[in-house]
Chain A
């Protein structure tokens, strides 16, 4: 096992998969970084530090630096994937999905179904998402509810270095389109990573902490916040059954329902606003399939119904926090039927 930062895990995993399978290609803006500039190619090596060195190793036919043209990036990845390549496309910020939504929603997500199951579309669309950088309304959003709602897409949201490796390698080997969401605030986080071939099949949640009092569901950066809250709650004798869902589609319903049946309480933590959201979807699942085990109303700690604001004070008021998670768990624990 090696200790690695998540950004390095991403680069190394892509490297391993490109070495293993020469049909794997990647495309995106500035993923080489410096093309056509005096500093030369790889002067930057990817603005997120997730693709440095790959161009030097695999060349321009496999590591394709593109103009600022998101629709063409996704469309090209789709066309290449339909015709024998495995394409990894990087959209620099998840917010820019707006620019290439048709290619994702009406094209990529629908090929398999529309073509009667006769096509493969092995494409991974990597998108950094999420808040915490005061990057203002158009560079801080989470988009997982939207893409999870689209039939035909698989959606991955890793929270640890090891999961990033296993899930990304799996994503690249999938024959269906995968939206791979990387939380910007996690790139610099370090963790142990298994050596060699390491795959995590989709649809299996990870148990983070075990407890009998309340089930806590989270993904991405929210897992760390919830872990922090769980440690505080443990001191007050409240045991959290914290589950990192890892993939929102497919969803590990069994892990969620088993846990809620045991704890009788549910707390969902998510960065997105509360309406028609990932949190409401999970709530509906539990209300529908585990209603009789619930001993308190389902609690949700989410962003408010607003864009993600810029100012430090506003963004921290917007984002879930360990304190808000603790308060919501305490509320659920102190609920008494009237």
Chain B
């Protein structure tokens, strides 16, 4: 763990921001405050933050339907995101996108996506832009998305064109309600990616340090002009597929056990405090700071301007 104190605090701040953002959304949705489909990311924070803390502003990422964590980790404005999810015209996408399509291209965040598997080919395009600049393009996908033809095509094209694209497969073991063991015919996402001819590794997706360390290696590999790489992250999601999902596909006591034994935030805290890198008080102070930020985001979202009918046709390049 050669991270500076500042870097450790930043990683924790980002992970905690995602967690509090998601937990708060879970509550607000239960109150009926938020419309539409919301897919929460809680449980997978170490994946987004482990990857994005290695990136700089000029690197690109493309996300999935479960996009809040990736957006936050890449530096999107948290208040603007919350306003978007509330459907305000002050939201990051003016209330047009909601939870599933949040984007901020100025931050290199090329969008959450409602179409499973749509991200990987777009990440290949961003890889064309990134090639030779020292930047990389990251495609986040799930274990479900790795069964889409689009993902296969993207992996092959990235290899053929030798692009600096990193395919990040967050394997939370479920696609909606279907288990990964049923839906992924290959031995693993890693062997599948390797078969396309790229460097493919695994890391522990609930351990920030494992992800962060693995990403160092992959980014160096891509920047050296070797072409794409892939990483499979073993992780857990703590809520349903979407908010409102009764989760009958889970095992008995599964969620309690996961929250007890496989919580990336708890693991991070234990690791850094036991190694005496950070003290509990510093982490507690960050917890308070993050909670205040999310409280403000929710309060401002509730008070924010609502879109009106004349906004419908705004941003269509031509209207009739």
Which residues of A line the B interface, CB within 8 A? 29-30, 33-40, 43-44, 47, 65, 67-72, 95-96, 98-99, 133-139, 274-275, 304-307, 309-314, 317-318
Contact of B184 among A67, A72, A96, A137 (CB under 8 A): A67
**With known contacts A39-B250, A134-B98, A305-B316, A68–B148 Cβ distance under 8 A:** yes
Knowing that A33-B178, A135-B36, A313-B87 touch, tell me 5 more A-B residue pairs with CB under 8 angstroms: A29-B178, A34-B249, A67-B178, A136-B101, A312-B35
Interchain CA distance A135-B39 in the complex, whole Å? 12
**With known contacts A134-B87, A138-B114, A29–B176 Cβ distance under 8 A:** yes
| A311 neighbours in B (Cβ, 8 Å) | 35, 87-89, 95-96, 98, 306-307
Contact of B96 among A68, A96, A310, A312 (CB under 8 A): A310
Contact of B311 among A29, A68, A70, A314 (CB under 8 A): A314
Contact of B178 among A65, A72, A137, A312 (CB under 8 A): A65
Interchain CA distance A30-B178 in the complex, whole Å? 6
Interchain CA distance A43-B185 in the complex, whole Å? 21
A-B contact pairs, 29 of them (CB 8 A): A29-B175, A30-B178, A33-B176, A34-B179, A35-B178, A36-B182, A38-B249, A39-B249, A65-B178, A67-B144, A67-B184, A68-B144, A99-B115, A134-B35, A135-B36, A135-B100, A136-B36, A136-B96, A136-B100, A137-B97, A307-B96, A307-B316, A309-B95, A310-B96, A311-B35, A311-B306, A314-B309, A314-B311, A314-B312
**Most B CB within 10 A of own CB, among A67, A134, A135:** A67
Interchain CA distance A113-B262 in the complex, whole Å? 57
Give chain A nearest CB distance to B266 CB in angstroms.
Answer: 23
Nearest B residue to A303 via CB reads B312
Closest 8 CB pairs of A and B: A36-B182, A36-B179, A38-B251, A311-B87, A138-B114, A310-B98, A134-B35, A317-B309
Query: B284 in the interface, Cβ–Cβ < 8 Å?
Result: no
Q: By the criterion CB–CB under 8 Å, are B36 and A137 in contact?
A: no
Interchain CA distance A318-B149 in the complex, whole Å? 33
Interchain CA distance A95-B307 in the complex, whole Å? 24
For chains A and B in complex, what number of residue pairs have CB atoms within 8 angstroms? 174
Q: By the criterion CB–CB under 8 Å, are B182 and A72 in contact?
A: no
Q: By the criterion CB–CB under 8 Å, are A30 and B177 in contact?
A: yes
Nearest A residue to B101 via CB reads A136
Instruction: Number of B interface residues at 8 Å Cβ cutoff, please give it.
Output: 54
Q: By the criterion CB–CB under 8 Å, are B114 and A136 in contact?
A: yes
Q: By the criterion CB–CB under 8 Å, are A37 and B95 in contact?
A: no
**Taking chain B's interface residues, is the majority helix, strand, or loop, or is none over half, making it mixed?**
loop
Contact of A136 among B98, B148, B183, B309 (CB under 8 A): B98
Q: By the criterion CB–CB under 8 Å, are A36 and B181 in contact?
A: yes
Query: B221 in the interface, Cβ–Cβ < 8 Å?
Result: no
Q: By the criterion CB–CB under 8 Å, are A34 and B309 in contact?
A: no
Give chain B nearest CB distance to A285 CB in angstroms.
Answer: 21
Interface residues of B in 229-261 (CB under 8 A from A): 247-252, 254
Query: B20 in the interface, Cβ–Cβ < 8 Å?
Result: no
| A309 neighbours in B (Cβ, 8 Å) | 95-96, 307, 311-312
Contact of B177 among A43, A96, A312, A313 (CB under 8 A): A43
Contact of A304 among B117, B177, B313 (CB under 8 A): B313
Give chain B nearest CB distance to A141 CB in angstroms.
Answer: 11
Interchain CA distance A139-B181 in the complex, whole Å? 27
Query: B2 in the interface, Cβ–Cβ < 8 Å?
Result: no
Nearest A residue to B311 via CB reads A314
Interchain CA distance A314-B36 in the complex, whole Å? 13
**Most B CB within 10 A of own CB, among A96, A98, A138, A274:** A138
Nearest B residue to A70 via CB reads B148
Q: By the criterion CB–CB under 8 Å, are B98 and A68 in contact?
A: no
| A138 neighbours in B (Cβ, 8 Å) | 100-101, 113-115
Contact of B308 among A33, A39, A275, A313 (CB under 8 A): A313
Interchain CA distance A29-B98 in the complex, whole Å? 24
**With known contacts A67-B144, A69-B149, A304-B312, A36–B180 Cβ distance under 8 A:** yes
Query: B15 in the interface, Cβ–Cβ < 8 Å?
Result: no
Q: By the criterion CB–CB under 8 Å, are B312 and A47 in contact?
A: no
Interchain CA distance A99-B88 in the complex, whole Å? 30
CB-CB contacts of B90-112 with A at 8 A, as 1s and 0s? Answer: 00000111111100000000000
Interchain CA distance A185-B127 in the complex, whole Å? 40
CB-CB contacts of B183-221 with A at 8 A, as 1s and 0s? Answer: 111000000000000000000000000000000000000
Query: B145 in the interface, Cβ–Cβ < 8 Å?
Result: yes
| B175 neighbours in A (Cβ, 8 Å) | 29, 67-68
Contact of A72 among B96, B149, B248, B313 (CB under 8 A): B149
Nearest B residue to A65 via CB reads B178
Nearest A residue to B314 via CB reads A306
Give chain B nearest CB distance to A75 CB in angstroms.
Answer: 10
Interface residues of B in 105-136 (CB under 8 A from A): 113-117
Give chain B nearest CB distance to A40 CB in angstroms.
Answer: 8
**With known contacts A36-B180, A136-B97, A318-B312, A95–B115 Cβ distance under 8 A:** yes
Give chain A nearest CB distance to B256 CB in angstroms.
Answer: 13
| B97 neighbours in A (Cβ, 8 Å) | 136-137, 310
